Structure 1
Amino acid sequence: MTPIPLRAHSEFSITDSIIRISDYVAAARAANYPALALTDLMNTFGLLKFYKACRKAGIKPICGADVRIENPEQPEKPHRAVLLIRNEQGYIRLNELLTAAFEADDRNKHTPQINQAWLAQGDNSGLLCLSGAQMGEVGSHLMLGNDDKARAAAQKYAAWFPNAFYLELQRLPEKPDWETSVSGSLKIAQALQLPVVATHPTQFLQQGDYKAHDARVCIAGGWTLIDPKRPHDFTPSQHFLSTADFAARFADIPEALHNSQEIAKRCNLTLTLGKNFLPLFPTPDGMDLNDYLRHLANEGLQERLAVLYPNEAERAQRQPEYQARLDFELDIIIKMQ
């Protein structure tokens, strides 16, 4: 069974990854992965570049984002989750959520994150949600021994994402304590009939890249490598895994590997490349968009000429020259559509 990598940060997660998208896709092709996901932290800046690279390499692109989600109990420690795009509707929805995290009036102004109310009120049918493993709301409660709260959180997310919520499992050799989240998630999955999925938090490509990655994290956080008080949030094993290593890590939970394939089948975003899509602009009285552009431009020209040439006779004399230039520019703009 070939599992699918569903979680990775790239160079567009500027605080914690050193993976170039072209190298990431090349590594996946060399490892014979049929599909691959990119989930940068709170952004989709690399989505188009990733999509093009995967298509060129013959790999199915799975697009999404690693997101922070509001934690009312500890606002300074938002929960994490992965949102994967199933279709065009999900692409629009994810961008709406990310935009709101940075721009909405009721956003968290200190740390961009998604408010729980937005998830509860909006249409999430175009997205799949992975629980965030030990960093998600379910997993963090499990790590603290709050099993009832973890179960309630799983029910809440399952309601937000009907038939599209997966309890995420992660394992790293340096983090044996994560088994608390893994075992607890399996119990909740059985009790609530929820699917589980295995992921690997990839931050760099080769194990030898760990020191360079550590330096990147220190630069982003304002620490020095020798600072004994600095956090160590990442480990040397968070490199890109081969299919064999990935499968071996979760050999005892085959359904978690199988579900990574099922998720890949469910994510089918298709982007139209090489075509510009301009936003719809309302016009009065059903006026044609091009005619309205000419109307506004000519109104602006008259206002500008009145300032440049207060004398009406001089303004009338110069009008043809400016009108010809405006018509020339408008013709070019309209032909570009």
Structure 2
Amino acid sequence: MMISRLSAIATAPMRNGLSSASMTSAYAELHCHSNYSFLEGASHPDELVARARDLEMPALAITDRNGFYGAVKFFGAAQRAGIQPIVGTELTIDDGTTPPKDRVDYDRWGERLLLLVEDKLGYTSLCRLISMAQMPNAKGVARLPADQLAPLSGHLTALVADPKERLPFYQEIFGRDRVFIELHDHLAPDDRSRNQRLLELAGRYAAPLVITNEVFYATPDRHKLHDVLTAIRHRTTLDEAQRYLHPNAEHYLKSGAELRRVFDRYPRDIV
């Protein structure tokens, strides 16, 4: 459930560039949705753990949306598989926009902040943050005002993939060594340019980097189920949902070697 520090996992954090050591067989996935992320994740925690075991990952994080719904099943499965379980959540931060009326269109509103538990105190803090995000809102809606993070920011590690102007704010409340800029590349048209902007941002604010694959399913064949779930979430048909679908099947649980090959397309002075 806990991590002594993110850097204690032999795989994740990098400073001033992408460390080749981080993409070896010791890689651990830190951003992973199970089917407990309602109508988003397309694999059960057991399936994700089994895949991580096959890849010989030392650790795996399950980071479902705004809750610990699958944490108990995940924790048990990971322990049985000999994998260090890391519990976290992808928390929706209120960015000042109006929530959608249908309350299911998560793709278009709210800023996402990935929080990982470091220890028991961090677990308690994240439970409280989740409750604070959910309780004032209608069922199915969770949004946490950013100014409520600070009192409960201790013992948590934050990953941000699109921090916009909030990066200095996150660094102030969590601490510079606990806020990582998250890079992921699914071979989509805009991925490389987005990561280049993030690399420049990391350099500007001396922020450490971490690579994840933002996983939604264990294996590539599950992407079709993910497409169906996405269409249901948007209350439309598969044909009409094309603009919401991922362009390929790359959001699966990958090995460090696979991700290394993906990031080899970046300049050598970066990778």
- Bucket of the pairwise TM-score, normalised by the shorter protein: 0.7 to 0.9
Q: Structure 1 CA distance, aligned partners of 2:51 and 2:241?
A: 34
Match of 1:308 in 2: none
Return the offset for 1:225: 1.2
Instruction: Say how many residue pairs are matched.
Output: 236
TM, length-normalised to structure 1: 0.65
Q: Structure 1 CA distance, aligned partners of 2:242 and 2:255?
A: 34
Structure number having the greater helix percentage: 1
Match of 2:159 in 1: 130
Q: Structure 1 CA distance, aligned partners of 2:33 and 2:204?
A: 32
Q: Is the 8 A contact 2:43 2:222 kept in 1?
A: no
Q: Structure 2 CA distance, aligned partners of 1:209 and 1:179?
A: 25
Q: Structure 1 CA distance, aligned partners of 2:205 and 2:42?
A: 38
Deviation digits for residues 194-220 of structure 1 (CA, Å, limit 9, x no counterpart): 101111111112212221221122223
Match of 1:114 in 2: 144
Larger-gyration structure (1/2): 1
Q: Structure 2 CA distance, aligned partners of 1:5 and 1:254?
A: 23
Alpha-carbon RMSD: 2.4
Q: Structure 1 CA distance, aligned partners of 2:261 and 2:242?
A: 35
Q: Is the 8 A contact 1:15 1:221 kept in 2?
A: no
Match of 2:263 in 1: 250
Structure number having the greater strand percentage: 2
Q: Is the 8 A contact 1:198 1:250 kept in 2?
A: no
Structure 2: any 5+ residue segments left out of the alignment? Answer: 1-23, 100-108
TM, length-normalised to structure 2: 0.80
- Paired letter, 2:113: A
Q: Structure 2 CA distance, aligned partners of 1:110 and 1:56?
A: 32
The alignment status of 1:66 with 2:90, answered yes or no, reads yes
Return the offset for 1:18: 1.5
Q: Structure 2 CA distance, aligned partners of 1:100 and 1:256?
A: 39
Higher mean alpha-carbon deviation, 93-102 vs 187-196, is at 187-196
Structure 1: any 5+ residue segments left out of the alignment? Answer: 139-149, 258-337
Q: Structure 1 CA distance, aligned partners of 2:267 and 2:159?
A: 17
Q: Which runs of 4+ in 1 moved over 4 A?
A: 107-110, 251-257
State which of 91, 96, 112 in structure 1 corresponds to 2:123: 91
- Paired letter, 2:69: F
- Paired letter, 2:223: Y
Relative contact order: is structure 1 or structure 2 higher (C-alpha 8 Å, sep ≥ 6)?
Answer: 2
State which of 111, 116, 132 in structure 2 corresponds to 1:100: 132
Higher mean alpha-carbon deviation, 219-228 vs 155-164, is at 219-228
